[in-house]
Structure 1
Amino acid sequence: MRLLLIFVVSVSADLNWWKTALVYQVYPRSFKDSDGDGIGDLKGVTEKLPYLKDTGIDAIWLSPIFLSPMRDVGYDISDYRKIAPEFGTMLDFEMLVRTAKELGLRIILDFVPNHTSNESEWFVRSQKSDPHYKDYYIWADGITKEADQEMLPPSNWVSHFRKSAWKYSEERGQYYLHQFVIGQPDLNYRNEKVQEEMKEVLRFWLDRGVSGFRVDAVNVLYEADPKNYGGRYPDESRSDDPSAVPDDYEYLKHIYTRDLDEVYTTIYDWRQVLDEYTSKGEYKFMVTEAYADVEHLMRYYGAEGRNGSVPFNFGLVDKVNKDTNVVEIKAIIDEWMTKMPAGKVASWVNGNHDQPRLASRVGTNRVDAMNMLALILPGIAFTYQGEELGMTDGFISWEDTQDPRACNTDDPVNYWKHSRDPCRTPFPWDGSLNAGFSTSDRTWLPVADNYKEVNLETEITALKSHYKFYRDVAAIRKCDAIQKGRLDVKALTESILVIVRWIPNAEAVVAIMNLSENTGTVDLSNMEMLTVKLKVVASGVDCNGFENK
């Protein structure tokens, strides 16, 4: 594969920080362990902030760091206002924010609003029918079969993590809804008290200096209102997936449990809270996670005069693999850019903690191309920790598996098909014990087997590496042409894609992706915006040479 990046040097643009931010997702458990317990922590993140600054990162998105029993590694929150002890203390968090600001970095927190832990005080009181908390969660009576008086769940809804989405509480005598792990009861957003409670959570962290939030699983905040269905939650119909079995989430069409209209109004309300703080001097950013079609995603931007969020664009994650050609990649770019409302900001994502790693998904020979693409396109780019190194998924045995989505299969043979642990292995800082991540005899997940070859120290000292190329492109990203230039994308063949960012009569950046193993000639003479000779300033690991004719 041949991959080139060409540009004319310029001065960086002075825009609102978030509109062209390079955001780096830190998965704290796996980033850096500062105290030798085998689990990454906040002090470890603070220690490595200079690395992120030197790499060209603008903001850091932290996966959940809140108090939790860790049944879903922190996405089951028992107290939104406390730090989980394995990650550190509130003082550690404040030091992280302060140090980040000194370096010109911003902190974005992971906000998990759909559910709490079943150990949350809110849930404990709700289960006891405490008047204030009674309706904080989705509770419902079971359905009794007249023939044998057997009690069944309120509906046939299935959890994302398999099996029924309803769990019976002996104490309350009702079922509660959990669209994810059993220990993650869904909050009831039809209760105004819940809505106000969550706004106060946002304010709590905004008061502590965070620059925004990534909102988790936002499109499942609401379920069908039983008032509209005779007081019952309606069953969902069978999906078109022939391989799914009744316990699988994919077995049903989720028309009553996701993408409901009320979701967008709630997002607009949260944007209003953030705007209260934006008026104090810094724009407070919000990006929303929803695996949905493009039409649904566009609604998150706002409507009817109300501002919303930037939705994650997972097109490069969901639709790009080792066999994808550049015509298909161009179609992904064009779809988002043409359907996005005027004046809004695009986002580009190559991976996260829920998906196979970029290098495992598209191949190590395409890592540079995909990283370059996300960083060169207009808008916000998101990088999951380790993608800049070309990390691949690690092997995690059944005995070492932590992910509840895999554990719930009860299948020591096929668990790996559902596990997210392989993309969550510790960050490889060097080739020493535990890849320099921890001094512990045992880390929470084993480090990847190839850490001696794929690690930051090795890539920094190498003549060419995925990291060096990523860092070079991140530096180029600061120029005016990328910050505020126009966009032109051309698929010259099925394997060669040309992306041009330019400012008329000023400067241009040209990124060339060649996804084949063959060399070729690229004719740029028909691109009117390119009126001067260009200079090669960065090239990928597998680019062995370039001749400028």
Structure 2
Amino acid sequence: MTTVSLPNEPWWKSSVVYQIYPISFLDTTGDGFGDLNGITSKLDYLKDLGVDVLWLCPIYKSPLADMGYDIADYRAIDERYGTLEDWDRLLKGVHERGMKLMMDLVANHTSDEHQWFVESRASKDSPKRDWYVWRPPRIDADGKRHPPNNWRSVFEGSAWTYDEPTGEYYLHLYLEKQPDLNWESDALRNAVWDLMRFWLDRGCDGFRMDVINLISKVEGLPNADVVEPKEEFQPAFAHYANGPRVHEFIKDMRRLVLDHYDTITVGETPFTYNVEELARYVLPANKELHMVFQFELMTIDQAKVPDASPLQHADWKVSELRDWLHRWQTFKKDEGFWNAVFIENHDHPRAVSRFGNDTTTELRTVSAKLISLFEITQKGTLYVYQGQELGIKNFPRSWGLEEYKDCASQNYWTRILHNRSLETGKKEEDIDMEDILDNFQKKARDHSRTPMQWDSSANSGFSTGTPWMRVNDDFKTWNAELQIKDEQSVHSFYKKALKTRKENPVLIFGEFELLLPDHPTVIAFKRIHGSQEALVLLNFRNEDASVALADEAKRSWRLLLGNYAVEEGQSFDLKPYEGRVYIL
């Protein structure tokens, strides 16, 4: 399949990027962990699907405290995944098939087992002491020791850990085992540039940059405002997201490293909902990144209360989804803003369970196809997460807490359980936590991390050993092998959808025109590129929808793709979860 790219547009704009969570992709050794050779063995599957770029979540040496986002050696492959030679073999196979390989750059923090941190914590006089963020304790009037400020870790508790040997605290915005790097250090930044060059020189084609907007903290590291009076530690995003020197650092990265290679770059920018702030990372005139993952879409099913946890669920409205789409499809289009189009990744639950309907096989199939139409008709670079092309869903509510492996889930549970025990005076074993499990079933990151469902054999063909995480219960009837053979499957539809996008530049580059802005269930819009137009109709609810587009009905629209059979001359009215793409 050939990607259609306009002469003056870079290759990464029209690419389909497939995100791989390696530990859950395919295990070839029987140890229960996915590995690089497993990915290599599925390159033909990915090429056939329509993938142009593979993005690998971290595969570096790591104790896996945060599933590889705690890196102990940036230049070594974790033995669970294989070796550098295995990586070279994977890269060769990728390039031979005309695809590209993108790595995950995690440079806001390392593992506490990284040699840099080992040296940094060894002595206050260590040459690498300032490669991390160290501060002396805060001592109260009673002589009691406290962390330097009241910042809460993203994964609960204080963002500081006391290190006895040197008598200081180190900062970790995430886990205690993930100390933050100090980007104020020139030597540290040069070390980051060097590790980037290591992978680029080896043949890597670009980077997804983990929490890249957190690398610059506010000077002085002041206390966060108290917004949760009952909590000792407070959300502190305002003091470390989009800090004072972040754009300076990224411009240097671009100038000193990235501009010397032909790459794709996408930054992860959490805790940021100011559109102007996000634009600064992306606008071509600023010479920073090609695009960013912004997470406004990921919050529309989050509880609408101050400082709500991502694990607190709320029902979402079609109007919210429509408003989000309109805003970002038209945002600074004349200045060259470019979107990273995604609806699923390793940090969020499955899209068909959030934005579709997984209650029956029929609804799951048709709504997963609807989601694919929603994705392929957006302007931007398209990202597909492993298993999304199969319509994999969240695992069942019947699974207990022991199946939730993610540190975010476990730490949130611990905090809520502790607080409820204090508030009620009950023992922890007597506390009702069923509402938390209800929320976990809808919102936990764990759902995207279950092993890939390849076939109907033991462990769905993922591993001959014991998988590191339980395989979803439905694997015998819902897997890649069955879907590849079925022309009506979600996989077959995704393959057709990606091909349709690539053959019609209007879907990638066209301008966006919203239609029916007040429809209760349908999102309707047009894409316009030169003489080519596309009309998109998407019904996001389990009910029939009347669609009145009198002016468009008079035009000679040709159905390009839909998830129901449509007769010639049929009206624009839609069935439950029906989606159609017309071309003119």
- Taking structure 2 as the reference length, what is the TM-score of the superposition? 0.83
What is the CA distance between 1:84 and its match in structure 2?
0.4
Structure 1 pair 64–255 and aligned structure 2 pair: CA distance change class (3 A): same
**What are the equivalent positions in structure 2 for 1:397-546 lying under 5 Å apart?**
397-408=400-411, 409-410=413-414, 413=433, 416=437, 417=439, 419-440=444-465, 442-479=466-503, 480-491=505-516, 493-505=519-531, 507-520=532-545, 522=547, 526-527=551-552, 531-534=555-558, 536-540=559-563, 543=564, 545-546=566-567
What is the CA distance between 1:165 and its match in structure 2?
0.8
- The match for 1:246 is 231
Counterpart-to-counterpart distance in 1, 2:145 and 2:510: 62
Instruction: Select the residue among 98, 102, 117 that pairs with 2:96.
Output: 102
Q: Secondary structure at the match of 1:513?
A: strand
Instruction: Select the residue among 134, 144, 147 that pairs with 1:139.
Output: 134
Q: Secondary structure at the match of 1:508?
A: strand
Structure 1 pair 90–334 and aligned structure 2 pair: CA distance change class (3 A): same
Contact 1:83 1:89 in 2 (8 A): yes
What is the CA distance between 1:453 and its match in structure 2?
2.4
Contact 2:19 2:386 in 1 (8 A): yes
Q: Secondary structure at the match of 2:202?
A: coil
- The match for 1:5 is none
Counterpart-to-counterpart distance in 1, 2:140 and 2:529: 69
Q: Secondary structure at the match of 1:207?
A: helix
- The match for 1:22 is 16
Counterpart-to-counterpart distance in 1, 2:382 and 2:474: 27
Counterpart-to-counterpart distance in 2, 1:519 and 1:286: 38
- 1:386 equivalenced with 2:378 (yes/no): no
Structure 1 pair 483–406 and aligned structure 2 pair: CA distance change class (3 A): closer
Instruction: Select the residue among 245, 250, 264 that pairs with 1:267.
Output: 250
**What are the equivalent positions in structure 2 for 1:20-419 lying under 5 Å apart?**
20-129=14-123, 130-147=125-142, 149-226=143-220, 233-239=221-227, 246=231, 251-278=234-261, 282-293=262-273, 294-302=275-283, 305-319=286-300, 324-340=316-332, 342-364=335-357, 365=363, 366-395=367-396, 397-408=400-411, 409-410=413-414, 413=433, 416=437, 417=439, 419=444
For structure 2, the residue ranges without an aligned partner over 5 or more in a row are 303-313, 358-362, 418-428, 571-584
Structure 1 pair 313–370 and aligned structure 2 pair: CA distance change class (3 A): farther
What is the CA distance between 1:223 and its match in structure 2?
1.9
Counterpart-to-counterpart distance in 1, 2:330 and 2:530: 22
Counterpart-to-counterpart distance in 2, 1:520 and 1:146: 66
Aligned residues: CA RMSD: 2.6
Counterpart-to-counterpart distance in 1, 2:356 and 2:547: 24
Q: Secondary structure at the match of 2:197?
A: helix
Counterpart-to-counterpart distance in 1, 2:286 and 2:218: 26
Q: Deviations over 1:133-157 (max 9, x none)?
A: 011100000011222x111111111
Task: Tell me which amino acid in the other structure corresponds to 2:269.
Answer: E
Counterpart-to-counterpart distance in 2, 1:288 and 1:199: 18
Q: How many percent identity over aligned positions? A: 32
Contact 2:4 2:14 in 1 (8 A): no
Structure 1 pair 309–503 and aligned structure 2 pair: CA distance change class (3 A): closer
Task: Tell me which amino acid in the other structure corresponds to 2:402.
Answer: E
Across the two proteins, how many residue pairs are aligned to each other?
519
Q: Deviations over 1:155-209 (max 9, x none)?
A: 1111011011110111221110111010111111111111111111111111111
What is the CA distance between 1:36 and its match in structure 2?
1.1
Counterpart-to-counterpart distance in 1, 2:382 and 2:271: 18
What is the CA distance between 1:295 and its match in structure 2?
2.7
Q: Secondary structure at the match of 1:157?
A: coil
Structure 1 pair 337–274 and aligned structure 2 pair: CA distance change class (3 A): farther
Counterpart-to-counterpart distance in 1, 2:128 and 2:171: 15
- Taking structure 1 as the reference length, what is the TM-score of the superposition? 0.88
Structure 1 pair 132–318 and aligned structure 2 pair: CA distance change class (3 A): same
Contact 1:238 1:253 in 2 (8 A): no
Counterpart-to-counterpart distance in 1, 2:300 and 2:410: 27
Q: Compare 257-266 and 318-327 and name the one that shifted more.
A: 318-327
Q: Secondary structure at the match of 2:237?
A: coil
Counterpart-to-counterpart distance in 1, 2:401 and 2:3: 52
What is the CA distance between 1:520 and its match in structure 2?
4.9
Task: Tell me which amino acid in the other structure corresponds to 2:379.
Answer: P
Q: Compare 412-421 and 135-144 and name the one that shifted more.
A: 412-421
Counterpart-to-counterpart distance in 2, 1:62 and 1:433: 25
Structure 1 pair 382–289 and aligned structure 2 pair: CA distance change class (3 A): farther
